[in-house]
Chain A
Amino acid sequence: MENSTEESHLRSENSVTYESPYPIYGMSFSPSHPHRLALGSFIEEYNNRVDILSFHPDTLSVTPHPSLSFDHPYPPTKLMFHPRKPSPSSSSDLLATSGDYLRLWEIRDNSVDAVSLFNNSKTSEFCAPLTSFDWNDIDPNRIATSSIDTTCTIWDIERTLVETQLIAHDKEVYDIAWGEARVFASVSADGSVRIFDLRDKEHSTIIYESPHPDTPLLRLAWNKQDLRYMATILMDSNKVVILDIRSPTTPVAELERHRGSVNAIAWAPHSSTHICSAGDDTQALIWELPTLASPTGIDPVCMYSAGCEINQLQWSAAQPDWIAIAFANKMQLLKV
């Protein structure tokens, strides 16, 4: 009965839908403003937008803030709010965005200010587009970015300087995630998951390589409730691969119930054994990982259907009852 699949019908009390004027990709919940959500547009040209919304779980409604909307060059590949409140007295919020560069924005009550642009090129004329980044929640003065130029860069946020730049992989680096204050991992088009320790910059550790040569790995999620576990997804694959860093190269589980490519994964912020995935089959699935490996495979515990392919997924840490999914030009909040 535990493994039975329950289809949860979307009723008005279980979901909220926001329709954007443009396609959506980047999303982030604000940890310090529990009802705040940032959305990034995905228009394949220079001019793009970032919108700030307020979510009201009591009335099940979403309110956009036009005065907090701002222009962003190129589609933001990742949005992330400061993992803590920047300062106790201030009511403003910090939002980081990646695209051509890493940028920092201050979200005030009625306006948005561009605070910093992080540029690590030898000459200011060139930039290597960034695919993703992660904000260190233990040491929020650090952000790690991943780039198509095969490097990962660790930034000192206060001084807007490069702390470290590593040639992390053999091909484009598609995602990056912190585990500890000085430990991060990344995935790449070279098909590997690698762990880096900033106290030993001369080495990295490969903990997984995709079974088919040169199948890129697209996303990486490190379980913050249990740092032994990571999840990753392969290009054009319906699998969610669960890794145990104590058992390198062999996945502890492969979740294979999606009927299309998986596009996004997120661990539950409050449980070490739950993970959500979403993909081209228009489904968002929530899985519970068993303590022992099951020979017949694992079934999801919850399933949601959207109207079309789901591109992005975020699980709110401030309100763990809610998950946000993005498909086409819609953002939907699901109660779990």
Chain B
Amino acid sequence: MEGSSGVRKGAWSQFEDDLLRDCVNLHGEGKWHLVPQRAGLNRCRKSCRLRWLNYLKPNIKRGDFNEDEVDLMIRLHKLLGNRWSLIAGRLPGRTSNDVKNYWNAYMRRKVHSHNKDNKIKKQETKSTVKPHEVIKPIPRVLTKTSPWLQRKFINSPKVGVSEEGATSSENWWETLLADKEDNAVFNNNNNTCFFGGVHGELNLWNEELTSIDFDFVTQGELGGIVNFQNP
């Protein structure tokens, strides 16, 4: 049974179990790299650790999982996924190996069909799950005294809008084009931009201001604000 590397593999004998148990009882758990030498075992430390944690530890519970344990396992699996050591940590006496084997043998199919039943009961005709990238925008604070803002506002031309046949979308597009032209002029006039010359950064605020001009012009053309009548 000796492996080519000289370390023993395969099933543990009673003699080996006794050596490992005595060693852990004497020196405690941990420092597994010292255990093979201390116990006089021709085993690697990982094998010693797993043998102890999954089999020899005194408080390990044997036998089938009871109803409460299964129920708790299902809920923990929902929370933690396939993190068997975390789930086992909340099931006293159960090892991560036992939890994993039980789940893969009995639970995987059950939970899947359970989810199907839930969805049928909800009677939701459409439900889609799509992985997508979540973007984190970098926030900026513009201050009242921003020279860029003041200059932009002063230079901003009013956008002429024809009321006949114009829709909101078209107006928005027109202001976007006008904004780009103005932005180009602005960049030519100032080599060092307040925001470091990144066009994408300028774009947002420019469009906001142009939109404001658009609304202002529209309001003016309507002959002033609609008067609110008191009841």
Contact = CB atoms under 8 A, between A and B. Distances in A.
Given A114-B124, A228-B215, A271-B226, A203 B138 contact: yes
Nearest to B124: A117
B128 interface: yes
Given A203-B200, A204-B137, A116 B219 contact: no
B128 A205 contact: no
B139 A273 contact: no
Contact of B172 (A8, A113, A118, A180): A180
A228 B143 CA distance: 16
Interface residues of A, number: 67
Contacts of A335: 231
B83 to A, nearest CB: 14
Interface string B135-156: 1111111111000010001000
Contacts of A138: 168-169, 172
Interface in B80-139: 81, 115, 122-139
Nearest to B173: A181
Contacts of B153: 246
Interface string B159-193: 00000000011001000000000000000000000
Contacts of B124: 103, 114, 116-117
Contact of B211 (A164, A196, A227): A227
A59 interface: no
B228 interface: yes
Nearest to A163: B132
Interface stretch (B20-28, B36-44, B56-64, B201-209): B201-209
**Chain B, interface size: which category?**
35 or more
A1 to B, nearest CB: 11
B134 A151 contact: yes
Given A166-B137, A288-B228, A183 B128 contact: no
B228 A268 contact: yes
Contacts of B129: 119-124
A248 B228 contact: no
A150 to B, nearest CB: 9
Nearest to A124: B129
Contact of A119 (B127, B200, B231): B127
Nearest to A208: B141
A200 interface: yes
Given A124-B115, A336-B231, A117 B126 contact: yes
B212 interface: yes
Nearest to B208: A245
Interface string A108-138: 0000011111111111110000000000001
Given A113-B125, A247-B144, A273-B225, 17 more contacts: A115-B125, A116-B124, A119-B129, A124-B115, A160-B128, A166-B134, A167-B137, A180-B172, A181-B172, A201-B135, A204-B139, A205-B142, A206-B139, A245-B208, A248-B144, A274-B228, A301-B230
Interface of B: 78, 81, 115, 122-144, 149, 153, 168-169, 172, 200-201, 203-205, 207-209, 211-212, 215-216, 219, 225-228, 230-231
